[in-house]
Amino acid sequence: MDPVRTFLQTFGAPPEVMRFAPGRVNLIGEHTDYNGGYVLPCALSMGVTCLCRRREDRKLRLYSLDFPDDGIIELDASEPELGGRWTDYPAAVVRSLAVFGAPLTGGADLMFKGSVPPGSGLSSSAALEVATGMALSDAFGLGLSGSELARIGQLAENRFIGVNCGIMDQFASALGTPYNAMLLNTQTLEYSFTPIDLSRAVPVIVNSMVKHSLASSAYNDRRRECEAALSALKSRLDKPTLCAYTPEEFESIGGVIADETVYRRARHVISENDRTLKAAEALRENRLNDFGRLMNLSHASLRDDYEVSCPELDFLAETAQNAEGVFGARMTGGGFGGCTVNLVEPDRVESFVGMIRSAYLKRFGVEAKAYI
Ligand code: ADP
Ligand code: MG
């Protein structure tokens, strides 16, 4: 289906702008982005495209080629009318624009076409938010930068959708480029790119097809536990975020955290931050075995200390870690389902995908999908 033609048929006039924002896969640095730490995501070639045309009135008409239920939103409605539907995301972005001091001066027709599998930890929601922001910024001449679009998307998700996520997803979507790992300091928003040498290693994503539900209480529990850990650590050594503590400092003062679960949560976050910096360095120096080992350690820490994995992800990661030609494998994204990311030798990719899909089918009776 040609989106431009569908736009014309749906709204009766052609779009004025069309913008694409990618989903992302996080190579390493999980659950560090709301603790002031480093992350290492990579933009995907899959993403969300937003087509947009301004309107004379104050209505926002929303249509997706991938989801049923189009919607009409009145820009001047005082009460939020978010109701757990996909249209909440673009509506939330419009509200965030106003909070950022860039309110829309008129209505718009918006149409979306996505290729990121939703609810799989590849951040279709961030791609949707950023694509919306980009298209509206262009159509209304708002001149928003990538970093502003990322913060507007995050605010939309935090304040209006009710998912208390960090900045990684929206930032990777707004400023990332495919085949380049982005090392992002989520505290300062400084970032740099390292190309992934695809002649030596290919990131392969395997979708467990288990839907995560990030908005679930488990995610908010983790955030509370991180806050509890930070306030305990502060009583011995005052630092602004969990990731500001080095593993050595944690080793010496971590005992101040009385609750064993909270202690393990902090141990994950602080060690993961350290692994992320080491992994970025290994990638820069093309030490792929080291990079892979850090991925494997990350998975174990997410499984045992942070407890956000699930049997399906554990099976996929462990099967991959034991396979020929795999540098490393780990769950990626918030957890409780979604995808694993695997770093695989180029000439092993095809056999790896065949092997892991059939092993998964045999064990869980489910067809896993792979994205190369
Ligand atoms: P993730 O971000 O990991 O993919 P989320 O649950 O955060 O998962 O976001 C998924 C939601 O984003 C979908 O349920 C839907 O509401 C919205 N969404 C994603 N892609 C599209 C699309 N192409 N069109 C409309 N809504 C979309
Ligand atoms: Mg999301």
Domain ranges of the chain: 3-24+45-174, 199-217+308-372, 219-307
Which parts of the chain have pLDDT scores under 70? 79-81, 213-216
Per-residue model confidence (pLDDT) at position 80: 61
Q: Is 112 in the pocket of ligand 1 (CB under 6 A)?
A: yes
Report the distance separating Cα 280 and Cα 182, nearest Å: 9
DSSP string, 138-202: HHTT----HHHHHHHHHHIIIIII-----SHHHHHHHH--BTEEEEEETTT--EEEEE--TTT-E
Q: Which atom of ligand 1 is nearest to the CA of 124?
A: 4
Whether domain 3-24+45-174 has CATH 3.30.230.10: the reply is: yes
Per-residue model confidence (pLDDT) at position 267: 98
Residue 179 tokens read as: 């085949």
Strands 59-64 and 108-114: parallel
Per-residue model confidence (pLDDT) at position 69: 86
> Which residue, judged by its Cα, is nearest atom 8 of ligand 1?
119
Angle of helix 288-304 relative to helix 260-284, nearest 10 degrees, comes to 170
> Which residue, judged by its Cα, is nearest atom 3 of ligand 1?
121
Query: Is 369 exposed, middle or buried, given 0-12, 13-18 or 19+ CB atoms closer than 10 A?
Result: middle
Cα 21 to ligand 2 centroid, rounded to whole Å:
14
Cα 151 to ligand 2 centroid, rounded to whole Å:
14
Q: Indicate the CATH number for domain 199-217+308-372.
A: 3.30.70.3170
Q: Tell me the per-residue pLDDT of 288-335, one tens digit each, with 9 for 90 and over.
A: 999 999 999 999 999 999 999 999 999 999 999 999 999 999 999 989
* Ligand 1 pocket mutation, candidates 86, 120, 216, 341, criterion most atoms within 8 A of CB: 86
Q: Is 3 in the pocket of ligand 1 (CB under 6 A)?
A: no
199-217+308-372 and 219-307 have identical folds: yes
Q: Is 120 in the pocket of ligand 1 (CB under 6 A)?
A: yes
Long-range CB contacts for residues 363-370, cutoff 8 Å, separation at least 24:
363/315, 364/312, 364/315, 366/208, 366/209, 366/312, 367/209, 368/206, 368/207, 368/208, 368/209, 368/316, 369/117, 369/206, 369/207, 369/209, 370/204, 370/205, 370/206, 370/207
Cα 86 to ligand 1 centroid, rounded to whole Å:
7
What pTM does this model have?
0.94
Q: Is 36 in the pocket of ligand 1 (CB under 6 A)?
A: no
Report the distance separating Cα 142 and Cα 331, nearest Å: 38
Q: Which atom of ligand 1 is nearest to the CA of 163?
A: 7
Cα 9 to ligand 2 centroid, rounded to whole Å:
30
**174, 150 contact by CB (below 8 A):** yes
Q: Which atom of ligand 1 is nearest to the CA of 120?
A: 3
Q: Active-site residue 169, yes or no? A: yes
Which of 88, 164, 120 lies closest to 23, judged by CA? 120
Residue 156, φ and ψ in degrees, nearest 5: -55, -45
* Ligand 1 pocket mutation, candidates 30, 111, 125, criterion most atoms within 8 A of CB: 125
Question: Which ligand is closest in space to the CA of residue 116?
Answer: 1
**93, 142 contact by CB (below 8 A):** no
Q: Which residues surround ligand 2, an ion (CB under 5 A)?
A: 125
Q: State the catalytic residue, choosing from 88, 109, 169, 305.
A: 169
Residue 76, φ and ψ in degrees, nearest 5: -95, 5
> Which residue, judged by its Cα, is nearest atom 23 of ligand 1?
114
Q: Is 49 in the pocket of ligand 1 (CB under 6 A)?
A: no
Residue 366, φ and ψ in degrees, nearest 5: -125, 140
Tell me which CATH homologous superfamily contains domain 219-307. Answer: GHMP kinase, C-terminal domain (3.30.70.890)
